[in-house]
Amino acid sequence: MTDATIRPPVAARKPSSATHHGVELSDDYAWLRDPGYPKVENAEILDHLNAENAWFEARMAPHQPLIETLFQEMKGRIKEADSSVPVKDGDWLYWIDFEEGAQYKRWWRKPVAGGDDELILDEVALAEGKEYFRVGAISVSPSGRFIAWSTDTDGSERYTIRFRRLGTGGKALDDAVPGASGKWGDSEVEGTIGNIVWTAAEDAVLYSLSDENWRHRTIKLHRLGSDPAGDVVVYHDPDEAFSCGVDLSAEENWIVIQSGDHETSEVRLVPAADPLAEPILIRGREKGVEYAVDVVGDTVFVHANDSHENFRLATAPIAAPGEWTTLIEGSDAFYLTGFSLFRDFYVVEGRQEGLDTIEVRYYGEHGRIEPIAFPEASYSAGLGNNPEFATDRLRLSYESMVSPATVYDYHVATRGLEVRKVQEIPSGYDSGLYRTERLSIPARDGTAIPVSILYRADRPRDSGGPLYLYGYGAYGIAIPPGFSTARLSLVDRGFAYAIAHIRGGDDLGRAWYKAGKLERRTNAFTDFVDAARGLVDRGYTAAGRIGIAGGSAGGELMGAVINSDPALWGAVVAHVPFVDVLNTMLDASLPLTPGEWPEWGNPIEDAAAFALIRGYSPYDQVRAQDYPPLLVTAGLHDPRVTYWEPAKWVARLRATRTNDAELLLKTNMGAGHGGKSGRFDSLREVAEEYAFILWQLGVPG
């Protein structure tokens, strides 16, 4: 390794500027965006990213023994040869398994009546020789004759669909959408995304097309054996901010076409037996109204926020699908997050005071409600895979911060929970060694912020010891208090592990989400800081002894809080961070930008939104001050947070900060938003993150 490769890379400064609303924005590092994106072929850019990777490797090299120790600990908590609980769907039982040492899973089935196991999809074989591999969707045709699946081999989330005949003598079909070459017509960057839905006749599938700008506004139909270039457009949304997807109704006789952005939706139905029929529009789009539907018989069930922000459940005759009659009123106390329809009953899911709730209800018996009870005071629970419409039991998932993942069957008639599987931890686990709490910490405006925390029972109170704090706070995504075997490697070394349920997520309902978006976006940042200070005040940790982490919009959170309160943090990990918020929202040509304006604001048209975003955008707010140690990750093929955002941010931090704390950038050159794809490769990246935090906080490995 030459001297040049063991020094921190210094990105060239190439001044550029643009003026918006009378304000000049200067950007010395805009050149790091390859003009040919999504292809990245510029030699200077690749050289810089490779130099950053070399610096990362050089600085982490002395800590490889610790990384290996952590990795082996985490791997030892995973049952390598494992399988899921089989799920009945018609005449078949389906399950997945992992072989000892395998990075990827295999998909199986066997007849309910008895017979041999059949391997229907082998991810291990499909991933062989590939740096990155991920299955996007798997769909078996209604009779079980065919399987369709989609794969991504570079992290760009542009999936190719392939097909195979199942059963004795089954073989791969020649069809490939968008094609084995990855091309669609004259374009080399299109693909598919989302679900694959079979027609009733099993002669075709519907899918969502991802265009060259990674926008999915088109639903197409592909007939088996035909040239995909001739696939028929079933629906195309005229709004460039909307995305489309497909699903099947509960009875599998309707294909559901959903279209929407972050605050508005629209749904259409087409018969599964006649997919090219004129779609039935449920109700036309209305800004701010989100809804989802399913169908039983001639009744449409609608989950909508038109009358209450926490959603209601309504019904309508399919002959007049826009005439909604309330079945379950919206409520300030109960956040109705979704519903599932079955032959004899339906299931409502939601959250009450942030706690997951599942209720069985009965058609025509509006007063009969059967909540499913769980054994702990704080947990995460939800419906699992329940493909059969006519069923007398429900597959459920359950876990808490101290309880490993558990699979239940809930017997509806007896209201009893049957344990089908408890996550096995081969190296051993004793839940009695750990404690979990749900704290309430006041934010600076008086709002109570929930914080879930895990620590060892023998960890001294008021110790001021090390603490790992995780946060996200965007898009109405709740962070549940679930179980993780990996985090035990920190907790067993004296850490407390905490999750701040900050505004911007919907942990406490839709109002909680709205209180952290648009003009109130900064609440998410101050909530996180105030939660950390509250943990310090309660003795769980001390300023400078806190390691923090977040990814994507959570990486934006990391960038904001190190600008505002740099001395509070002892180590920071920002995964694929959305930090160049203003420039991204000013560029309508980028894949996600038009659809993101309802979440962040449109700074192109709105001067107030421009000023607000500029005031918190982490890249724009980098200043001359000391910054905490920072590990940043990126994915070269990431379509969600483009690689140049973290690259530019690190370059500006290096040029502007007033100290020399560790500042590392690792770009996965063959992956995208989620990092490496294999189960052990991704686990090693967690080990790298934890090793960095231990190193920077001075905690023995």
Q: Residue 563: which of 502, 652, 641 has the closest Cα? A: 652
Angle CA 576–579–583, to nearest 5? 125
- Cα–Cα distance for residue pair 303/311, rounded to 1 Å: 6
- Cα–Cα distance for residue pair 553/566, rounded to 1 Å: 19
Full 3-state SS string of 270-299: EECCCCCCCCEECCCCCCCCCEEEEEECCE
Supply 613's token pair. 């975003």
Q: Could you tell me where the DSSP H helices lie in 336-440?
A: none
Residue 653 neighbours by CB under 8 Å, 6+ apart: 622, 627, 630, 663
The contacts found for 367-374 with CB under 8 angstroms, 24 or more apart, are 370/412, 370/415, 372/396, 372/410, 372/415, 372/417, 374/398
Tell me the backbone φ, ψ of residue 46, rounded to 5 degrees: -65, -40
Under a CB-based contact definition with an 8 Å cutoff, are residues 169 and 202 in contact?
A: no
Tracing tokens 């510029």 back to the chain, one arrives at 42
**Omega of the bond leading into 38 within 30 degrees of 0 (cis):** yes
CA distances from 545 to 459, 464, 475, 490, 493 (A): 15, 8, 29, 13, 14
Q: Residue 426: which of 66, 63, 80, 44 has the closest Cα? A: 80
Report, as residue numbers or ranges, the catalytic residues. 552, 638, 673
- Cα–Cα distance for residue pair 509/455, rounded to 1 Å: 27
Q: Cα(first)–Cα(last) distance of the chain, in Å?
A: 27
What pairs with residue 355 in β-bridges?
352
> What helix, strand, coil percent values describe the chain, rounded to 5?
20, 35, 45
Side chain identity, residue 495: F
Under a CB-based contact definition with an 8 Å cutoff, are residues 427 and 73 in contact?
A: yes
Under a CB-based contact definition with an 8 Å cutoff, are residues 558 and 573 in contact?
A: yes
- Cα–Cα distance for residue pair 648/660, rounded to 1 Å: 18
